[in-house]
Amino acid sequence: MNFKAFFLLEQEQEAVVILPGGFKPPHKGHFEALKYLLKSGAKQAKIFIGKKERDGITQEQSLKIWNIYKKYIPANVEVIAVTGGANPRKCIVVRIVS
């Protein structure tokens, strides 16, 4: 695929923000980072939360906090609990289909 065709394909695809992490707990910095990333023009975001408990904060508690945050974000935000003990920062795969 040549650059021009790739560029045109990129223009037609919808951008998605992918934000993986432990988020134990999610805090203002995480919230602001998501808002900043959405300024790129993406209309949706996927947040992946790790399973491991940290400092007494569980994955379930992190999910609840993100579900509060997403009420204040003008985009379609999906919060996903990573299962099986996988590290969310190491298991994100981005695929471009031509």
Residues 6+ apart with CB under 8 A from 12: none
Each domain of the chain, given as residue ranges in start order, spans: 14-81
- Digitized pLDDT (tens) for each residue of the chain, 98 residues in all: 344 444 445 555 678 888 888 999 999 999 999 999 898 888 889 999 988 899 999 999 999 999 999 999 988 999 998 887 666 655 554 443 43
Tokens of 81: 């609990």
Residue 81 CA to residue 59 CA, distance in Å, equals 7
Confirm whether pTM is higher than 0.85: no
Residue 90 CA to residue 4 CA, distance in Å, equals 31
Tokens of 49: 């939360």
